[in-house]
Amino acid sequence: MAISDAQFRLGVVGAAIVLVLVMTFMRFCGSVDIPAKPAPPGPTGSQSQLLGKGAATPAVYQEFLARDATSAGVRTPSIEDMSRKFPYRGDDARHVLEVGQPAIEIAGVRLEAARDGNTLVLDITNLTTSDLAYAVVSSPTPSLSGCTSAPPVLFNAMVIAKGKTERRVECVWRQGMALAITRVETLEVSPLSAWYLSLVPPRLVGVEDRIAQGHQPPESSEKCSTVVSQAVRSGLESGQIGWRDLVDFYARHRCLTYRFPSSYRAFRSDNERQIPDTASGM
């Protein structure tokens, strides 16, 4: 049947009115329910929480050992290897080293004071058959200010390789100066533990800034945090946490991932506790 122009125009207008009414109703009087997005599969939590959950497991810890051993170019140890006690030596007697005088041998190291240009230096030689984590607490005598201004020589402030010597700057040289040694501590460590410790900023284990500023860590794309927690700082000041405790922990745990738990103490026997030890750490 033929439709006139008037009828056609009337039909178009009517259809438009109906469409507008439908759209208005949907906009103001109704809504389309969209199902909630399902939660992603797997564990939940922040990135740091997830890292903590994973890194606390022996399987992930063993993966870290394998990856880090490759980076260090050493044999991959087992968890049992990393759970053994480290042989420890300590000496708290006061010794005075003078330039030109014979060296002394204590706690597995040979110590000798020397003058290098305009600086007083200390040569520390590893006398053991293993890599050696070490702490030598010293002070120039007579006591002088401005020792931190002496330009440091880059060295490893954490570990001395087997059969090697590390030289560190103690102070600007003054005639008649000597060096008082008040404490020496050492731990014999495995090759991977030595690499782990070399990555640790010395301030994390209580090494004073005068010495720590010369530390040269291995080349690495990742850097360990230099922040010392208040719990560790307080523990060091009170004597409840010692150098041995801190070094023992970081010799077993990569400082890129694990943080020292304030409850941790150095192993006194093999397999003393399970590692990784993350009780209050991470």
Listed by start position, the domains of the chain span: 48-252
Binned at pLDDT 50, 70 and 90, residue 282 comes out as very low
Mean pLDDT of 9-33: 54
Counting residues of the chain whose pLDDT is more than 90, the rounded percentage is 69
pLDDT at 201 over 70: yes
Binned at pLDDT 50, 70 and 90, residue 64 comes out as very high
pLDDT at 22 over 80: no
Of 26-30, 86-90, 226-230, 231-235, which range is least confident?
26-30
Of 42-46, 199-203, 231-235, which range is least confident?
42-46
pLDDT at 98 over 60: yes
Taking the model in full, what pTM does it have?
0.80
Residue entry with tokens 């020292």: 260
* Mean pLDDT score of the chain: 85
Q: Which of 49, 53, 47, 55 is nearest to 254 (CA)?
A: 55
Q: Which of 111, 115, 175, 119 is nearest to 138 (CA)?
A: 111
pLDDT at 145: 75
In 87-227 the beta strands, taken as DSSP E runs, fall at: 88-91, 95-98, 104-106, 109-116, 119-126, 131-141, 159-160, 165-172, 178-189
Q: Which residue has the higher pLDDT, 48 or 23?
A: 23
Mean pLDDT of 122-131: 98
pLDDT at 222: 80
* Polymer length in residues for the chain: 282
Mean pLDDT of 17-33: 53
Mean pLDDT of 104-117: 97
**CA 57 to the chain's CA centroid:** 18
Phi-psi region of 176 (alpha: psi -120 to 50; beta: other; left: phi over 0): left
